A and B are shown apart, each in its own frame.
Chain A
Amino acid sequence: MAAWLVRRVAASIAIVFAVVTLTFVLIHAAPGPPVPWPPDRPVDREVAAAWCRQWGCDQPLPVQYARYVSQLARGNLGLSFTLHRPVADALAEAIPNTLLLAGAALLLDFLLGLALGVYQALRVHRLPDIVLGNATLFIYSFPTFWLGLILVLVFGEQLRWFPVAGMTDPVLCPRVDSLRCAIDLLWHLTLPACTLGLVGAAGTARFQRAAMLEIAEQDYIRTARAKGASAWRVVLRHQLRNALLSFITRFGLALPFLLTGAVLIETIFAWPGMGRLATDAILRRDYSVVTAAALLASTLVVLGNLIADALVAVADPRLRVPEQA
C-alpha cells in the first residue's frame, strides 16, 4: 500500500507540473496581449513599452518560463498585473470563499441526494418514488446559471427573503467577527449554495437510487433478510454500505469542483471566489493568476482521485492492493 501510494503521489506531481507547463504555454500562445489598461482608452506607445519592461513581458517566452518555474519552486506564485498584488494574496482571499460556497453546495448535494436516493429505493415504483424521480430529473435538467437567475428573481428581487448577491451586508457586517455576522453570511450563502446543491442533489439521488436497487438484488441481501435482520439493519448495514462505493467515487471526482465548479454562480451572486478571479484573469491575460488557478485545479483533480481511490480501497477490502504489488 505504501509503495502504491508513493507511486501515485509521484505520478500526481508529474501531472500537476505538466498541467502548469501546458497552461503557461497555452495562455501565452492565446491571441491577444495582456490588458493592463481599460481597453477603451488610447494608450501611449512609450507608456505601453515601459509597462511591458516593468512586468517582464518583453522577455522571450523561455526566459519568462524559466523565471516562473524558478519562482514556483520557491513557493512564489508571482505578481498579478491586474490586481497589483502578489497572486498568493489574491488566492488566499478567494479560496476560502469558494470553499465555503462549494463546500455548502456539496454538503447539500450529497446529504440530500443520498437521503432522496435511499428513500426512493425503499419506495421503489410507488407514488413517492415516481414523484421524486420526475422531480429530480426535472431539476437535474436545469442549467445551474438559469436556476440561479430564477432563485434571484423570485426569492431575492420579488419576495426579498434572501440577498440577491454578495457575501455579507457591508453596513452591518463588514467583517464576519460575531455570531450575528456569521448568520448574515449563511443568509447570503443560501441562494448560491442551493443553486449549486439542488442540481447536484438531483443527480446524486438518481445515482444512489440505482445503486441501492442494484444491491437489493444481491444474494447477500436476500440472505440477510432470511436470517431475520430488521429492514433498517438490511438497508443501513448491508445495502447502503455497499451502495456507497459509487457514491465515494463520485465524491472524489467532485473535489475539484470545490475550487473550479462555481464560476457562473459566483458571477451571478457576486461571490468573491476563485471562479471570478480566474475568469477576469483569463479575459485580461493575467498570466500569473491563470497559471496559479490551473495549478490549484490540477492539484485538486489528482488529489480528488487519490482520495477517492484510497477511500474505495478502505470501503471495499476486495479492491485493496496487496503489499507486495
Chain B
Amino acid sequence: MLGAMRAPLTVPGALVLLVAAAALGSCERPGGCTGAYCGTLVFVTPAEPDILLPPVSQQVGTRDIGDQIFLKLADIGLSTNTVGDEDFQPQLAERWEWDGPLTLVFHLDPRARWHDGQPVTAADVAFTFDAYNDPAVASPYRNELRRLVSVTARDSLTAVFRFRERYPEMFFDAVYQMRILPGHLLRGVPRDQWKTAPFGRQPVGNGPYRFVRWQASQTLELEADSTFFLGRPAIRRLIWRFTPDIQVAVTQLVAGEGDALEYLGTPDNVNRARAAQHLTIYPYRGSTYGYLGFNLAANGDTTQPHPVFGDRQVRRALTMAVDRARLLKSVFGDLAKVPPGPMSQIWWIWDPEIRQLPYDTVQAMRLLAARGWRDSDGDGIRDHAGQRLSFRVLVPSSSGTRKQYARLLQEAFRTVGVQMEIDEVEPSVFQERVASGRFDAALFGWSTDPSPSSGLVQLWTRSGFGGSNHLRYDNPAYDQLVERATGGVVTRDQARATWRRAIEMLNDDAPAIFLFAPDNVAAIHSRVADVKIRPDSWWALVRTWRIPPDRLIDRDHVER
C-alpha cells in the first residue's frame, strides 16, 4: 500500500524532500541561551482560551493561561481543602487577618506590580470585585460571590472583604474565583463591551508570565517576568500550541513537537505517551465525575412523576443491577475510581467509606418483582400493567467514554429484564433536552472546582430546579443537611460529617448511578524537573518548575 502511495510522489516527492531538507537545515539554529533560566516549554492542548479576561470566561484554557498572567490574592494548596484558610498560599496578599466573624482584611504585597510597571493596589481589588458582580459583565462566577457584601480599599495596600454570613468556605469564596484586574487599564472600558474588549486579546497582568502574542487557533506565547516579586520563574518562555482535538495533541507530543499535555484522556493515549522515551507520566486526581441520572419527573412534564423512575425502589434496584467496578475497569482500566456519590476526586469530602448501594442483582430482581415488574409475556423484558420496563438514555455524541458506558449499561440492565435504548445526540441537543426535561435518563459528566458546595447545591437541591437540577431530585432532608454543611457549621470535621450524611441519604434515594471519577494523567518532557500539578488548575505551579542547564534541548537555547 505504501509502495503504491509513493509512486506518484517520485518526482514531486524529491522536490518536497529537498525543500524539507533545506527547511530542516535552516531551522536548526542553536541559540545562545545557557544556564538556569533558559527553558522553553511548549504545551499542546485542545483547550484554547476564548478571551484572556478572567471574569468573562469560564473556559479551561482561559483559566490555565490566565493563571500565569493574573494572580489571585491567595491560592489554594495541593490538598485542595476549601474550608478555612490554613491550606491557602499567599499570592498578591502577603498576609490576611479576620476582623470579626464577617470581615476579612487582606494586606497586599507592596512589591506586586502590573506588567506595565504600575503597583497593584487595593483599589484594583475593589474594582475587580465590582466587575465580577456587574450584571453588564455577565460573569459566570457572579453566583459564587453572592455571599460577599462588599470589597473596599482601606488604604492603597489593604483590601477589606465583608460577608453576609458566616460559613466554612468564606475564605475560598473571597479568593478562589477572582483574578485581580488592572483598574487603571480597564476602568475606561464600558462594562457591556468587556465581552469583546481588545484587552482580552492582549492582556496586561501581574503574574509570573507576561503576554507576548496570540495567533488564533495556532499558538499563544508568554514570557517570564524576570522581576516577578514572588521569585523569577525558571522557565523563561511558555508556548501553547492549540489543536482541534486531543488525538492531534498526543501525536504532536509523541512526535516531540510539544513538551506537555495536561490530560491524555483514554488509556490508549496514556500507553502511547508511556512508550515515548522522552516523556514522563504524571497521574493526578481528576476533577470530573460521571453518572447515569434518572429523570424523576415525567419525560417532558415536570409536574408529574416519571412512570418508572418516580419509584424509589425501582431506582435502587437499577443501581444494584450495575457492577460499577467492572464497568470502570472496562472503560478506564486502572485510570479511574468508582465515586462514592456525586463527587470528583479533588473534593476534600471524597471518602470511599461513604455508604452506597451494593452490587446485588438478586436483590435488584427481587425489588423489581416486589414492585410488580415481572416478565409476564416471556420476552425477556419486565412489564407491569401493560407497560414494559423500558426507557431511553441520552448520551452526548462527543463523549467516547459515555458512549462506551451506555452500551455496557444496556447489557447490565438487560440481564435483570430492563430494556434501555440509547439516543446519541450532539452536545447542544443534549443540553437542550436535559434542560427542558425531555428525557428519561441521561449520562452526565461534570467538571468541578475544588468546592463541593456549589455543585452539590445546584445539581441536587430544590434550589437547582429550573437550573442544573435536571433530574428534579427533591429531598427536603437532604437540602437541610446541605444547608448545614455549607452554612451552619464551621469546622472542617463538622462539615465533613454533615456532607457524609447528606451524600449517604442521596445514595439511598438513588436518583443516579455514580459511575466514574477519572484520574488525570499528564505527560511532560523528561527534561523538566520539580514538576507539581495542582489537580484543580493544572499549570498553576509552572513558575516553580525548572529545566536543569545540562538537560536543555535546542528549543531552550533559541534566542530571537
Contact = CB atoms under 8 A, between A and B. Distances in A.
Contacts of A315: none
Given A41-B447, A164-B255, A50 B58 contact: no
A122 B200 CA distance: 61
Interface in A63-105: 79, 81-86, 90, 93-94
B17 to A, nearest CB: 7
A284 B257 contact: no
Interface string B421-451: 0000011111111010000000001110000
B366 to A, nearest CB: 36
A170 B255 contact: no
A4 interface: no
A7 interface: no
Contact of B217 (A42, A50, A202, A276): A276
Contacts of A169: 27
Interface string A286-298: 0000000000000
Nearest to A156: B255
A20 interface: no
A163 B257 contact: yes
A152 interface: yes
B50 A82 contact: yes
B4 A112 contact: no
Interface stretch (A134-142, A228-236, A237-245): A134-142
B295 interface: no
Interface in B83-126: none
Nearest to B7: A135
A171 B42 contact: yes
A220 interface: no
A285 B429 CA distance: 10
Contacts of B555: 171-172
Given A83-B50, A139-B5, A171-B40, A165 B140 contact: no
A166 B241 contact: yes
Interface residues of A, number: 83
A277 B256 CA distance: 26
Interface in A136-188: 136, 138-139, 147, 150, 152, 154, 156-157, 160-174, 180, 183-184, 186-187
A137 B433 CA distance: 46
Interface in A194-208: 194, 198, 201-202
Nearest to A205: B8
Contact of A35 (B7, B19, B51, B427): B427
Contacts of A266: 244
Given A35-B427, A40-B446, A84 B4 contact: no
Contacts of A84: 50-51, 56-57, 195-196, 200
Contacts of B143: 44, 46-47
- Specify which of B5, B219, B244, B396 lies most central, judged by the most chain A CB atoms within 10 Å of its CB: B244
Given A172-B558, A272-B217, A40 B445 contact: yes
Nearest to A166: B241
A174 B221 contact: yes
Given A166-B241, A268-B248, A150 B5 contact: yes
Contacts of B201: 85
Nearest to B56: A84
Contact of B218 (A38, A44, A166, A183): A166
Given A42-B468, A183-B26, A198-B8, A164 B16 contact: no
B140 A37 contact: yes
A270 B196 contact: no
B288 interface: yes
A173 B27 CA distance: 9
A168 B257 CA distance: 11
Contacts of B26: 180, 183-184
A97 to B, nearest CB: 8
Contacts of B398: 283
Interface string B210-254: 000101111101000000000000000101011111001001101
Nearest to B28: A172
A156 B253 CA distance: 12
B454 interface: yes
Contacts of A79: 195-196
Nearest to A273: B217
A112 B12 contact: yes
B2 A154 contact: yes
A284 B241 CA distance: 22
A54 interface: yes
B454 A42 contact: yes
A165 B219 CA distance: 12
A45 B432 CA distance: 14
Contacts of B195: 54-55, 79, 81, 84
B433 to A, nearest CB: 8
A202 B4 CA distance: 12
Given A164-B257, A270-B248, A190 B19 contact: yes
A300 interface: no
A166 B51 contact: no
Interface in B242-274: 242-245, 248, 251-252, 254-257
A83 B216 contact: yes
B138 A157 contact: no
Contact of A136 (B8, B17, B216): B8
B35 interface: no
A79 B261 CA distance: 31
Contacts of A160: 255-256
B431 A35 contact: yes
B385 interface: no
Interface centre among B50, B398, B433 (most CB of A within 10 A): B50
B255 A42 contact: no
Q: Which of B256, B428, B432, B455 has the most CB of A within 10 A?
A: B428
Contacts of B138: 47, 50-51, 53-54
Given A85-B196, A135-B4, A174-B215, 8 more contacts: A37-B59, A46-B142, A85-B201, A136-B8, A160-B256, A171-B558, A187-B20, A198-B9
Interface of B: 2, 4-5, 7-9, 12, 16-17, 19-20, 22-24, 26-27, 29, 40, 42, 50-51, 56-60, 135-136, 138-140, 142-143, 192, 195-196, 200-201, 213, 215-219, 221, 237, 239, 241-245, 248, 251-252, 254-257, 288, 396, 398, 426-433, 435, 445-447, 454-455, 458-459, 464, 466-468, 555, 558, 560
8 contacts: A42-B446, A84-B50, A166-B257, A170-B239, A172-B29, A174-B219, A183-B22, A276-B217
Question: Top 7 nearest A-B pairs by Cβ distance?
Answer: A32-B428, A272-B217, A42-B468, A187-B23, A84-B51, A44-B143, A50-B138
